[in-house]
Structure 1
């Protein structure tokens, strides 16, 4: 099928079985040309951005330097500018549902039927981007925006706002080539979503709105801003129509929050804090140094620790000073199926944690369990009933470089080590079967928790950490033995792993985990590592759109 509207040389994999309608609806010549035009226009800048990431980390490693607030952009931090006001439907961001992979049709429909203010419609942390899941997820969004997803579906302007999260820059779309080169994952996702939904969403005051993940600084925000403007001009939309919330998930980005907002000041919907990707970024960027060994996350890492509390407070102060939203991370709590003491206990724990964020000045946050939406909304009604908390300016906050980089004290527990092994292995197993999240011990686990889990095990082995209590050295041999014990228990006790195929996948996942935690050079993202697996990349290139 010709897609030569822009004389682009493109190839696209053929449709997965059963998704022919989605494929033909979405991958039209116009849509493919739109994606291809963005890819070609920004190809060199994306490559330069990815190279700059490598060079910046190498420079820090060589110089033993530390992230800091740049004197070159001090005029932006001290200036009196504001971001543009958000549209009406984004003024209240109290409770979003997070990790909602639109490929999971049943969960996506439940989210649309909820009372949440928004839905993090996720192609990133909570989603595994196989060709099947990408097309299914995109098609479900297409149908939702066109009021076709389920019977008697209300118009999109009467549903929770879709906060569309494309993949981060570390991911590529293996199933689309432009001039023989794989398209960056975020460009494929953003382009397809914009082409098919932007005008309808805008006409109904419901978008297009995005979450942008894993940015490392203001220059990357500038790249996204230019992509936004290019797309708006191509589609005939007013500049500033697109609004985006940037997730501050990287330690470098924490020092450039003002600058990120400034670059996106016509497109900004504020900033978001997330505990696990942010914590993992310390290991990613500074993990070769013994002074940045992060203690057991299960026991010693939470939003009350100084470095995370400072980061959250600085986000709130920065955003409110610039007239935009500061939102918190996701409550991963999964409530039991039936009411009872454990249900009440977990509800209380989740609400207490989020009440702390409300009292700190957060304008909203995310939950995974739909049953948490109304209780969390009631917390806002009781303690912060206005649409947002812009008036909470936090003059008490003066977060310094030392505050943001202060590692919490603490060691490593045997239970914490075992938990990290379990989460990482089960995430890899889940990814290998095409799912981006799973449930484990009363919580939702996704790539963010898998990232911190495998990163900590790598770091503890590298820096010869010891277990609390018996002071046993954490070695690869110990990790390998604990991993094998976990596998034995799963195969023996978990009915899911009763078939040969499922056991093979679990053993393959454990093998990949063992590779990850023994690499000399730290693999930057677990999802990048996994997406290069041959078993994941298998696609249907025998027939293509040319």
Structure 2
């Protein structure tokens, strides 16, 4: 036998009929055979990709990361060329809905009916890839591609495929993730190839016939060679599935420091399959730490206070993405506005939310971007209007208005010039800890993103949060000036925990970030989460402690994992890889899942 495929877990029809239905519908004999051929064909290339990534990371660790754009590809950057023409469905990119977990049927349904230009159907940053979620997610995607949205009556098909309707942009898992339940040739398959393969086999030809795809987002690419691999995968798939050549289109998220130095080169490699580039702000910021965080001279600034698109290095990054794309006839889109109405906002606060979103996205539009992402569906129309008013009359984008005006003015130094502020506030540290604990807790419970303090948090914000904590512990980053005096403990009955924390840790806050302090703050976050879920335990000193260890809550487990993650000897490149290696998905397999058909 030249190649073979094995599925390791079969959902029970009696215990989980929804997952069983998804399994039998998605993993057909034909789908598995296609996946076997796809993985076998590109097995050597994928293995080389992993070796190249390891070598690249070693170079950064040794201080040999790029300080200039490569001379070897100078001709690609200087030559005049453009990507293949975009299909009509991708000319208007003003608003995509981001972080749409395909296993959450109501969320997918509402996003597809939102009136946005596109929906980022996300198997990556906003998704927890439990086997149940993966199966139900792919069934929901296959049905949605045929106009059958979750919640529709059986057999009902809506006319949602005309030239003005919302398109699906499927985001497979990144190359760092695996699908642990499927093996080809005795090896577990990459999550990227599994998600891509299931999507294109079930829906690729159908969407192509409708001129609605297949369209994708590609996460966490690091180099032009990785873009070239995807291009070969697309070409092979088009031939294998009888999809017209150059029909598959993909938008690459620029989410890593290495990728920022090869934007032209990636567009060149994908020129026949390109749908442009996107700014992935927080993953990009985190990559500075995961690549160079061991270097005391490169302390990354407090992300909650000093990192935004107004800072020079981030502004240069956005400018480079936009100018590079427009020079090549490719759309460029800004990042996702994370603000969300969680149902508790007053009318005034809702107006403030819309105002903040419009202001941020008008900044993208003025910089030349062709669109951006939002999570809150109520922001779709305001953002569409914000971009439209900056477009030339009758134009669906800014490709002609901003063609190559400053592509060559962004230097390597601009991209690497991070702010010099090196202190941290106690509130900011605790916020980062809470994001991490809540995110990991969500994974344990089958969720890939959450709403916290009026913002959506996913693996990208968890990534920068945990990386920042790791670096602050590693180098003993100092705190800002001690917080102002607060009332005595007796008056704290209604005070926010962050205020109480200032009082409790005032001595430590005057000094620096330490592992014991971080662990204490983690325990406080865990106690808060346990108390909110109704199982606190009162400690002997009057403080609230976590649930007894005889039955650990998911918050307890999450706290333990985060405490380990931020004190490892080396900083992991990806939080999701770390969680996968801890067998998080297997440990949470028997917990209730939030996946819905």
TM range (shorter): over 0.9
Identify if the C-alpha distance between structure 1 residues 180 and 402 changes in structure 2 by more than 3 Å, giving closer, same or farther: same
**Deviation for aligned residue 1:246:** 0.2
* Aligned: 1:428 with 2:467: no
Residue of structure 1 equivalent to 2:184: 178
**CA distances 1:147-185 after superposition (whole Å, capped 9, x unpaired):** 333245523414410000000000000110112210110
**Deviation for aligned residue 1:537:** 2.8
**Would you say how many aligned residue pairs link Structure 1 and Structure 2?**
536
**Deviation for aligned residue 1:497:** 7.8
Residue of structure 2 equivalent to 1:526: 575
**Deviation for aligned residue 1:131:** 0.5
User: Structure 2 matches for 1:247-262, cutoff 5 A?
Assistant: 247-262=253-268
* Aligned: 1:131 with 2:166: no
Identify if the C-alpha distance between structure 1 residues 221 and 13 changes in structure 2 by more than 3 Å, giving closer, same or farther: same
**Deviation for aligned residue 1:493:** 4.3
Identify if the C-alpha distance between structure 1 residues 493 and 178 changes in structure 2 by more than 3 Å, giving closer, same or farther: closer
TM-score (norm 1): 0.94
**Where do 5+ consecutive residues of structure 2 fail to align?**
483-509, 538-546, 591-597
**Deviation for aligned residue 1:515:** 0.6
Residue of structure 2 equivalent to 1:106: 106
Residue of structure 1 equivalent to 2:158: 154
Identify if the C-alpha distance between structure 1 residues 169 and 7 changes in structure 2 by more than 3 Å, giving closer, same or farther: closer
SS at match of 1:483: helix
Greater Cα shift, 280-289 or 10-19: 10-19
Q: 1:419 aligns with which of 410, 425, 431?
A: 431
The structure whose RCO (Cα within 8 Å, separation 6+) is larger is 1
Residue of structure 1 equivalent to 2:385: 378
Residue of structure 1 equivalent to 2:366: 359
In 1: Cα distance, 2:551 partner to 2:363 partner: 41
User: Structure 2 matches for 1:70-469, cutoff 5 A?
Assistant: 70-149=70-149, 150-151=152-153, 153-158=157-162, 159-337=165-343, 338-384=345-391, 386-391=395-400, 392-393=402-403, 395-396=405-406, 398-410=409-421, 411-469=423-481
Residue of structure 2 equivalent to 1:50: 50
**Deviation for aligned residue 1:7:** 5.6
User: Does the 8 A contact of 1:307 with 1:403 survive in 2?
Assistant: yes
In 1: Cα distance, 2:552 partner to 2:5 partner: 42
In 2: Cα distance, 1:390 partner to 1:312 partner: 15
Structure with higher Rg: it is: 2
In 1: Cα distance, 2:65 partner to 2:218 partner: 27
**Deviation for aligned residue 1:532:** 2.1
User: Does the 8 A contact of 1:174 with 1:182 survive in 2?
Assistant: yes
User: Does the 8 A contact of 2:5 with 2:32 survive in 1?
Assistant: no
User: Does the 8 A contact of 2:253 with 2:278 survive in 1?
Assistant: yes
SS at match of 1:13: coil
**Where do 5+ consecutive residues of structure 1 fail to align?**
541-546
In 1: Cα distance, 2:454 partner to 2:375 partner: 12
In 2: Cα distance, 1:503 partner to 1:280 partner: 30
What root-mean-square deviation, in Å, do the aligned CA atoms of Structure 1 and Structure 2 show?
1.9
Residue of structure 2 equivalent to 1:543: none
SS at match of 1:389: coil
Greater Cα shift, 339-348 or 132-141: 339-348
SS at match of 1:448: helix
**Deviation for aligned residue 1:378:** 1.4
User: Does the 8 A contact of 2:95 with 2:117 survive in 1?
Assistant: yes
In 2: Cα distance, 1:259 partner to 1:347 partner: 37
User: Structure 2 matches for 1:533-544, cutoff 5 A?
Assistant: 533-537=582-586
SS at match of 1:80: coil
User: Does the 8 A contact of 1:336 with 1:342 survive in 2?
Assistant: no
In 2: Cα distance, 1:503 partner to 1:370 partner: 36
In 2: Cα distance, 1:34 partner to 1:528 partner: 26
User: Does the 8 A contact of 2:5 with 2:182 survive in 1?
Assistant: no
TM-score (norm 2): 0.87
User: Does the 8 A contact of 1:336 with 1:343 survive in 2?
Assistant: no
User: Does the 8 A contact of 1:144 with 1:156 survive in 2?
Assistant: no
**Deviation for aligned residue 1:65:** 4.3
**CA distances 1:400-436 after superposition (whole Å, capped 9, x unpaired):** 1110001113221111101000000100000111110
In 2: Cα distance, 1:294 partner to 1:496 partner: 37
Identify if the C-alpha distance between structure 1 residues 9 and 490 changes in structure 2 by more than 3 Å, giving closer, same or farther: closer
User: Does the 8 A contact of 2:324 with 2:404 survive in 1?
Assistant: no
Residue of structure 2 equivalent to 1:489: 528
In 2: Cα distance, 1:495 partner to 1:55 partner: 48
In 2: Cα distance, 1:95 partner to 1:497 partner: 43
**Deviation for aligned residue 1:393:** 2.5
SS at match of 1:468: coil
SS at match of 2:479: coil
User: Does the 8 A contact of 2:94 with 2:371 survive in 1?
Assistant: yes
SS at match of 1:157: coil
In 2: Cα distance, 1:276 partner to 1:363 partner: 20
Identify if the C-alpha distance between structure 1 residues 93 and 105 changes in structure 2 by more than 3 Å, giving closer, same or farther: same
Identify if the C-alpha distance between structure 1 residues 402 and 144 changes in structure 2 by more than 3 Å, giving closer, same or farther: same
**CA distances 1:107-126 after superposition (whole Å, capped 9, x unpaired):** 11101111000000000000
In 2: Cα distance, 1:260 partner to 1:123 partner: 22
